[in-house]
Amino acid sequence: MLHYYIWTIGCQMNKAESERLGSFLEQNGYQPTASAEEADLILLNSCVVRQSAENRVINKLNALKSLKRSHPDITLAVTGCLVDANISQLNEKFPQVDHFFKPGEYPQWLGKPERTQALPLHPPPSVYVPIIQGCNNFCSYCIVPYRRGREKSRPVAEIVGEVRELVHRGVKEIILLGQNVDSYGHDLSDKPDLADLLSELNIIDGLLRLRFLTSHPKDMSPKLIEKIARLDKVCEQISFPVQSGSNDILKAMRRGYTVEHFRQLVAEIRSKIPGVALSTDVIVGFPSESEEQFRQTFNLLSELRFDTIHIAGYSPRPGTSAARELVDNVPADEKRRRLNLIEQLHESIATDINAQLLGNTVEVLVEGKNKGKWQGRTRTDKLVFFSDNGEYTGQLVNIRIDKTSPWSLQGQIIPNTIN
Ligand code: SAM
Ligand code: SF4
């Protein structure tokens, strides 16, 4: 029996692609193993969106050198955003690697697909479904369009068929994925949009919840906001990266919107979708970001009070226009100071938002057990833990919250309210 081991870092798209690669390999006779040493095939699904992620990939590749030396029969393959067009250069740099292949590809040597998009036979309750690959935006700091290519949407019928099959296999929640899901469909002949796709998916019997990420502020339409508000399975949660609170920095980032427009969109979303949870992404220390421009970001985040803030220090990515044209002139310790300030702000806002849920009853989709406790999420994507002797994986349960922290909630199951 052949064994595979997959190591994944990076975004949800990488996680989704690793899940599918695993299923694909299982359809081709492999079994998963939790240790690289026991594997016949090791797959690294890489991320290079920041230097820190790239360093982790390189460290992992270096660590695998001796294993490969002592077990030359192990196949070592790398996919994800480390893989650029210049494979021969990668081969030279990492001779221990047998194969490099682009994200989303299924090279012939991996096996024969039952379908190109291999679906898990026994999926968890919540599954990622990529709906659009690549990105056309070319934000000045971002390497993704260079590594994942231009936007390519999957046809509505293909996605609907796949979701029906996943629901048939027991899935309750679908998370639609794309670098920019709001531009879904513009490249398809009949030009469906994300709102149309959500309408088609919302009517699938047995599906309980729909989510999608990531939205781009320049492409968030009033039609989509209306649809999220109206469709019962679409959760009240939007991933909405602002990146900066300074118009000058947004322009240098080539984001295509202003702070005023972003603020207006947030107000519209909140007025049309009561109780909506918003998460955002922010980069601090972008080239020439002044203290005043950083303060504008800090103040915008204090004002808009996102449920979640993903924060990163700017990391120049070779090949991007920012790396070519702008000087990375905010010192590392200053980036760290700005990052810490936003992390503290995030913790204090998340503490307040979650504390408001104390004593409330929330609907939780149970994902499974973690360290002896049941774990699931609310429609607003809050992580909830509870203890009980029953079996709840994949069920919707009502939980009365009796403890909150910035990062999770705990509570008691309310009997006789299980769906
Ligand atoms: N498409 C989404 C968007 O429009 O924001 C996000 C995708 S991006 C791969 C994920 C996050 O990584 C971004 O939101 C950004 O905050 C961060 N990121 C991307 N490039 C970066 C860079 N060069 N330095 C620091 N953070 C970066
Ligand atoms: Fe990168 Fe911008 Fe595309 Fe997001 S929208 S993946 S940040 S280029």
pLDDT digits (tens, 9 = 90+) for 385-411: 999 999 999 999 999 999 999 999 999
User: Which residues have C-beta within 8 Å of that of residue 313, sequence separation ≥ 6?
Assistant: 50, 283, 284, 285, 332, 335, 336, 338, 339
User: 66 CA distance to ligand 1 centroid (A)?
Assistant: 33
Q: Which residue minimizes the CA distance to atom 11 of ligand 1?
A: 281
Using the CB atoms, write b or e for 336-363: b if 16+ within 10 Å: eebbebbeebbeebbeebbeebeeeebb
Residue with tokens 């679906």: 119
Percentage of the chain beyond pLDDT 70 is 98
Residue 279's Cβ-side half-sphere holds a number of Cα atoms within 13 Å equal to: 17
The reported pLDDT for the residue numbered 69 is 92
Confidence bin at 351 (pLDDT 50/70/90): very high
Handedness of CA 153, 155, 160, 162 (dihedral sign): negative
The reported pLDDT for the residue numbered 415 is 82
The reported pLDDT for the residue numbered 416 is 63
Spatial separation of the C-alpha atoms in residues 300 and 315, rounded to whole Å = 22
One-letter amino acid identity for 146? Y
pTM assigned to the model: 0.96
Return the ligand number nearest the Cα of 148: 2
pLDDT tens-digit profile of 142-177?
A: 999 999 999 999 999 999 999 999 999 999 999 999
The reported pLDDT for the residue numbered 394 is 97
Pick 114 or 297 by higher pLDDT. 297
**For a substitution probing ligand 2, which of 81, 136, 142 has the most ligand atoms within 8 Å of its CB?**
142
Spatial separation of the C-alpha atoms in residues 36 and 65, rounded to whole Å = 12
User: Which residues have C-beta within 8 Å of that of residue 108, sequence separation ≥ 6?
Assistant: none
User: 114 CA distance to ligand 1 centroid (A)?
Assistant: 34
pLDDT tens-digit profile of 299-334?
A: 999 999 999 999 999 999 999 999 999 999 999 999
Confidence bin at 104 (pLDDT 50/70/90): confident
DSSP per residue over 75-96, as a string?
A: EEEEEETT--S-HHHHHHH-TT
Confidence bin at 111 (pLDDT 50/70/90): confident
Is 273:226 a contact under the CB 8 Å cutoff? no
Check pLDDT > 70 for residue 110. yes
The reported pLDDT for the residue numbered 417 is 52
Spatial separation of the C-alpha atoms in residues 243 and 309, rounded to whole Å = 10
Spatial separation of the C-alpha atoms in residues 299 and 288, rounded to whole Å = 19
Mean pLDDT computed over every residue of the chain? 96
One-letter amino acid identity for 254? R
Best CA proximity match to 126, nearest among 348, 371, 414, 396? 396
Is 176:200 a contact under the CB 8 Å cutoff? no
Check pLDDT > 90 for residue 414. yes
Dihedral in degrees, nearest 10, Cα atoms 156, 162, 166, 168: 90
Confidence bin at 120 (pLDDT 50/70/90): confident
Closest ligand 2 atom to residue 281 Cα is 7
Confidence bin at 115 (pLDDT 50/70/90): low
Name residues contacting ligand 1 (CB within 6 A). 11, 49-50, 141-142, 144, 179-180, 214, 216, 241, 243, 281, 283, 312, 314-315, 317
Angle between helices 194-202 and 156-168 (to 10 degrees): 30
Check pLDDT > 90 for residue 283. yes
Is 212:167 a contact under the CB 8 Å cutoff? no
User: 216 CA distance to ligand 1 centroid (A)?
Assistant: 12
Interior CA angle at 173 toward 200 and 228, to 5°? 50
Q: What's the DSSP call for residue 392?
A: -
Is 281:271 a contact under the CB 8 Å cutoff? no
Q: How large is the average pLDDT for residues 251-258?
A: 98
